[in-house]
Chains A and B, each alone.
Chain A
Amino acid sequence: MSLLRRRTPWIILLLVIGASAPGWMGAYFLGVFTTAYYFGVFAMSWDLLFGFAGEVNFGPTFMIGLGAYAAGLMNNAGFGIPICLIGGAAAAVVGGLLLALPALRLRGPYFGLVTLVSVLLLLDCIVIFASVTGGEIGMMVPDVLSVSASVNYWYAFGFLVISAFILYGLSVSSVGLILQATGQDRVGAAALGFNVTKHKLAAFCISALFSGLAGGLVTFYGGIASVDTVVSLSITVQIVIAVVFGGRRTILGAILGAIFLILAGELLRPIGQLNTFVVSAVALAVIIFFPNGALGWLLRPRDQA
């Protein structure tokens, strides 16, 4: 926590700038940042699994998608937004648990493969039950968070800050320390008396909770749950890039990575098809030359050897 205290002035400054953005930023960019903030939560949740629990989850969109579609379905059934968000998060956690319980028994690449297949299954289900889910077109929801860009922005910003506070706090707590130990050396952690499976499952649940909530919020932000925004594998790839770009095992770096990806994608839109190429190339360069990511590089330990 010393890190937090030392940098408190900076953090307050960032919070003030972030919260006051609707006062000086146009509606278009408010929208871009709103999307980036939700994306930041996707990425932080993923970093908890990848950076701390040491598990490569290729199915973050399985949990995001479950949250988004469950919330949407409940809203269509007449429930209010808060209940739908809770329902969506619950669906993501239950789905995540059902996936993680058998998958965590597997080692190495097999865990990743199982999570990857889970996304494909969810995609199939959405297409098969198109009459309810809207299939590839997406599912409209009757309610939205707000029609005001500013209010939507504040919702996203508040959600990002609260998520960051909880996830970062967790990562630097005793629980986070144990989680890192289990991720780095299963046997070593178990030999110190830690139930490795318990800690990894807990991390999976927390990751699923925030992913599901974020998925639900995205649905009520756009008024639609669609495969392209919450389930598609290209979202997974972007999450991975955001985390590695921002800095693995930093939680907060994921926000940086997410904002970079979304913002750069928007700013470079005029160059058309080249857009994704340029963004990916820059991300790749960072990954190769700064394997600890942007934030990892900024906060690198400066020990005298």
Chain B
Amino acid sequence: MMQNNVPLLEVSGLTKRFGGLVAVRDIGFTMRGGEILGLIGPNGSGKSTVMKLVMGVERPDAGSVKLAGTEIAGWPTHRIAREGVGIVFQHSRPLHRQTVLENIKLALLPDSLFRLAAEPHVEQRAREIAERVGLGAVLHRRPPTLPFADLRRLEMAKALARNPKVVLVDEPFAGLTPTEVADFSRLIDGFREAGHAVMLVDHNVKSVAALVDRVLAMYLGQRIAEGTADEVMRNETVRRVYIGGAIEAHPRKELDAKGGEALLEVRAIDVFYGKARALQEVSLHVNAGEFVSVVGLNGAGKTTLFNAISGLVPFNGDIHWAGDSLRNRTPARIAREGIVQCPETRELFGELSVRENLDLGGQHLTRPDREAQLAWLLDLFPILNERQGQPAATLSGGEQQMLAIARALMMRPRLLVLDEPTLGLAPVILEQLSKALGRLRETTPITVLLGEQNVTFALPHADRVYVLEHARIVWEGDPVRFAAEMGTGYL
């Protein structure tokens, strides 16, 4: 290991605002040659923004980024790349009409307008790199014909070609099989052996624990913990962010008695994104009137599951709704038949007012029905009552989430699908949201399917719980049993 004492990358006071939202606040860390740092945090924690700030894709509002002593904060991306920072993107976007070899050669070309032909050594070097990442057999194939793992290998090859001092890897293992994970771990280890500094950006500690020397955990744009993977996993704040505080559970036993009246039945579905497997033989059911939670870390497949139910992504297998198959039905028809999804991205109409957003949700209702539904919702979420005339984009994160749920409820769903409503919300807001869900459950016969990473939020109202891990359902049961059986192994 070379250069072990000179920090290759020194970041301090890094801050980035998007409008009123502080995406990254005062983040600092140091990386030395031959070291692997894990940067983890749930969706919306700001980890991706940190990566973009280091790469120069976004300009920091404050702070310093030093590469081997040179200040690079605020430089354009191509200069930062030439100075020695490389990135392996999660989603590869290779040139589709060029071969694998040509794609690697691209990364070896100088940034010149006048060098019309590549120098002879480029071809040789590209072949060597291809061999090293395991693309030797597919040199002359074109990317659209390659399996997912090979596309990731190609991204890795392009990063290797630039011989960067610091390599940023975004979600290194997402969508890979265990064998492929082992291959990629070896490649990343190879960076370390060569004296590069590597940053692995991921949702959770678990997936990168075996590889990293240190982990930096982020939440709401701030650093919440730093240390070895073990230390971070045991850290109280980290556990609270990922799992929440003490787990409460109040399943309604009387629903069990009614069992068998399945409203929604998902039967062994598989979903692929291109070549990446997002869901594998997932089966679950939701009975009428039940509140079912699907818990799992980011990237486990929750959103994909909900999108399959809503008809937004194609799937193999079958999904039954009130006895009929949902195959070949359009998303609009599925929504009209009563399955209403409240997506994690919220999808509000930012320039329309709170009231207009709600009215849009109630378009298909008759006027008196709409008025009644609106009155009930404004009572359920009093804050929306005060904010009726305000454009949705000006609401706080928590208020926007309540509006998104209220708008979904305006459609009078038979099944409300809530995808990660806690995304990026502060703990106080979670409590308000949780109370509203509690009232919803107590006062209406509504059926709810909730997807959550935050277990403390997902469990108190749940009658039944599924755990989704790496595209598969690994546990099913009652929330009281969850605390005993799954509580410790979840992170």
Min CB–CB distance A137 → chain B (angstroms): 41
User: In the complex, which residues of chain A have a beta carbon less than 8 angstroms from the beta carbon of B57?
Assistant: 187, 190-191
Known: A184-B95, A192-B106. A175 touches B115 (CB 8 A): yes
* 0/1 interface trace, chain B 284-304, chain A, CB 8 Å (1 if under): 000000000000000000000
A193-B111 in contact given A184-B95, A185-B93 (Cβ < 8 Å): yes
Q: A301 CA to B56 CA in the complex, in Å?
A: 36
One of A79-87, A108-116, A138-146, A194-202 contacting the partner:
A194-202
A191 and B116 within 8 A (CB): no
A155 to chain B, nearest CB (A): 27
State which of B56, B81, B97 has its C-beta within 8 Å of the C-beta of A192: B81
Q: Does B109 contact A (CB under 8 A)?
A: yes
A202 to B112, CA, bound (A): 11
Report the bound CA distance from A304 to B142 in whole Å: 10
Residue in B76, B77, B105, B118 whose Cβ sees the most chain A Cβ within 10 Å: B77
**A131 on the interface (CB 8 Å rule)?**
no
Q: What is the CA–CA distance of A190 and B158 in the complex, to the nearest angstrom? A: 12
> Whole-angstrom distance from the CB of A247 to the nearest CB of chain B?
11
Q: Is B488 positioned at the interface, with any CB of A under 8 Å from its CB?
A: no
Taking the complex as formed, is B107 at the interface, i.e. its CB lies under 8 A from any CB of chain A?
Answer: yes
Within 8 A of A (CB), among B161-195: 162
Instruction: Decide if B93 touches A178 in the complex (CB within 8 Å).
Output: no
Select which of B55, B113, B142 is within 8 A of A303 by beta carbon.
B142
Contact residues on B (Cβ < 8 Å of other chain), bracket: 20 to 34
Chain B stretch 101-125: residues in CB contact (< 8 A) with chain A: 102, 105-107, 109, 111-118
Instruction: Chain B residues near A187: list those with CB within 8 A.
Output: 57, 77
Residue of B81, B93, B97 touching A193 (CB-CB under 8 A): B81
C-alpha gap A300/B64 in the complex (Å): 48
Given contact pairs A192-B106, A303-B141, A305-B145, A177 touches B77 in the complex (Cβ within 8 A): no
Instruction: Give the chain B neighbours of A175 by CB distance below 8 A.
Output: 112-116
Q: Point out the residues of chain A lying under 8 angstroms from B435, CB to CB.
A: none
Which of B82-90, B348-356, B361-369 makes up part of the contact surface? B82-90
Q: In the complex, which of the residues B93, B111, B115, B118 contacts A188, with contact meaning CB atoms closer than 8 Å?
A: B93
Taking the complex as formed, is B432 at the interface, i.e. its CB lies under 8 A from any CB of chain A? Answer: no
A-B contact pairs, 15 of them (CB 8 A): A174-B116, A175-B116, A177-B105, A178-B106, A184-B95, A190-B57, A191-B55, A191-B77, A191-B81, A191-B87, A191-B89, A192-B162, A193-B111, A249-B97, A303-B142
Interface residue ranges, A against B (CB under 8 Å): 169-170, 173-175, 177-178, 180-181, 184-185, 187-196, 198-199, 202, 249, 301, 303-305
